[in-house]
């Protein structure tokens, strides 16, 4: 590969012990990175270190261990701020994941909406960026307007612009489709939306592990992503929110930590970002997320993207040599996600046969049933690359597809 001299993938793989295991006597080829990435040893060690040396509740103790834990959590907040180029740590809210981050906005920002107001989504959205708005719509009769995609999986921007009217209050869109790999033109979306006074939320779960994120350059109002897709711990997510909106929005949940003063007559809330962080946070995994961000930064997000793109290009070309192969999502500049079907074979059967050969792929609707309906299918097989995948693994995947093709009568 062209990047071999500057990108030592074999050295990186040694940081991920799971990649040495076997499945059904075959080396594991892990191609489900879109769902969750594997975790390097140093992140697991950071978790262990927190439990064994620094476990004490944060922001509540005057004793040394509590103060250490607090400093480690807040150091992660600063790392996240720098990673996405936010203006202040006041704009960085820790959640349990992208799903909770979007629900927070739907509940809190959604309190400003009135019956008949409209939100623009796209047909490629993950259920986590559909259902919270439907729940809001059940309470307030908010109307969802949906942008279609073109045949190559790119967003129909003409249709997008046509959906705006005086009742449009928010645009909520994925940065990268978890099915199609499409990279949406967020800068263009925010520029047009803001010209009409409409704020924009971006689901960045599939973008943050694979590309440079600059919330100032993108000019987004909200940006959500998850640690577990970025080689970090599960159960940790981030919501970036423009400070002016977070100041205006009411708290999402009530409890300890997010208050300034409580009486039975009245409660006043804490300053940002703590206003949105009720209860004891997952300070152990938040602190360990710092190690994951350091790991990705050390490898280099641009180097990761280039490595994954080479795997995507080679694998896609080889897959298209297989009779009956259909790939969904072919837009230029897409991320390293390949959703496909082989002839008339059911996606589940394809996935099960691949598993017997050690190939771990995702099958189903990928929490994107409206997109599947628009494509006229029930689901797909999805292979997705991460920073540790190799050309040899891509070759094993292609060999496995050729081997199972006769079994599937494609």
- φ, ψ of residue 363 in degrees (nearest 5): -130, 155
- Find the largest Cα–Cα distance for the chain: 72
Q: Where are the alpha helices (DSSP H) in 320-390?
A: 347-356, 369-375
Query: Are the CB atoms for 96 and 282 separated by under 8 Å?
Result: yes
Cα–Cα distance measured from residue 214 to residue 192, given in angstroms and rounded to the nearest whole number: 18
Q: In degrees rounded to 5, what are phi and psi of residue 367?
A: 55, 40
What's the gap between Cα 298 and its chain centre?
20
Which H or E run contains 118? strand 118-122
Q: What are phi and psi of 290, to 5 degrees?
A: -60, -40
CA–CA distance, 242 with 170 (Å, rounded to integer): 14
For residue 112 the two structure tokens come to: 């400003």
The sign of the CA dihedral 12, 72, 207, 124 is positive
User: Any idea which residues carry the catalytic annotation?
Assistant: 367
The beta strands (E) that lie in 231-315 are given as 237-241, 259-262, 267-269
Contact 252, 58 (CB under 8 A): no
Q: Is the peptide bond before 273 cis (omega within 30 degrees of 0)?
A: yes
**Burial level of 248, CB count in 10 A (0-12/13-18/19+)?**
exposed
């Amino acid at each position: 590969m062209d990047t071999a001299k500057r990108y030592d993938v074999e050295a990186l793989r040694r940081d991920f012990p799971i990649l040495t295991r076997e499945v059904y006597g075959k080396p594991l080829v892990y191609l489900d990175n879109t769902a969750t990435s594997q975790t390097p040893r140093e992140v697991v060690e950071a978790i262990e270190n927190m439990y064994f040396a620094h476990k004490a509740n944060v922001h509540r103790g005057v004793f040394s261990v509590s103060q250490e834990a607090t400093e480690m959590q807040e150091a992660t907040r600063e790392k996240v701020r720098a990673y996405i180029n936010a203006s202040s740590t006041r704009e960085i809210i820790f959640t349990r994941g992208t799903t909770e981050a979007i629900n927070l906005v739907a509940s809190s920002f959604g309190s400003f909406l009135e019956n008949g107001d409209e939100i623009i989504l796209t047909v490629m959205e993950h259920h986590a960026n559909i259902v919270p708005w439907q729940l809001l719509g059940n309470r307030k009769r908010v109307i969802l307007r949906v942008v279609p995609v073109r045949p190559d999986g790119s967003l129909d921007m003409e249709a997008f612009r046509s959906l705006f009217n005086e009742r449009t209050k928010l645009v909520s869109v994925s940065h990268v489709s978890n099915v199609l790999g499409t990279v949406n033109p967020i800068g263009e979306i925010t520029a047009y939306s803001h010209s009409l006074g409409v704020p924009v939320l971006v689901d960045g779960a599939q973008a943050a592990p694979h590309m440079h994120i600059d919330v100032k350059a993108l000019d987004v109002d909200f940006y959500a992503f998850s640690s577990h897709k970025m080689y970090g711990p599960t159960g940790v997510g981030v919501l970036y929110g423009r400070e002016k909106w977070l100041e205006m929005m009411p708290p999402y949940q009530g409890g300890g930590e997010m208050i300034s003063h409580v009486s039975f007559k009245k409660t006043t809330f804490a300053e940002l970002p703590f206003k949105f962080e009720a209860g004891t946070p997952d300070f152990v995994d938040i602190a360990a997320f710092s190690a994951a961000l350091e790991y990705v930064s050390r490898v280099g997000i641009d180097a990761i993207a280039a490595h994954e793109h080479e795997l995507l290009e080679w694998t896609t070309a080889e897959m298209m040599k297989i009779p009956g192969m259909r790939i969904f999502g072919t837009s230029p500049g897409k991320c390293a996600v390949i959703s496909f079907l082989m002839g008339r074979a059911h996606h589940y059967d394809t996935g099960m046969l691949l598993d017997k050969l050690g190939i771990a792929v995702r099958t189903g609707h990928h929490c994107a049933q409206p997109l599947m309906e628009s494509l006229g299918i029930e689901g797909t097989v999805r292979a997705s690359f991460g920073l540790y995948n190799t050309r040899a693994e891509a070759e094993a995947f292609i060999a496995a597809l050729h081997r199972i093709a006769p079994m599937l009568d494609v």
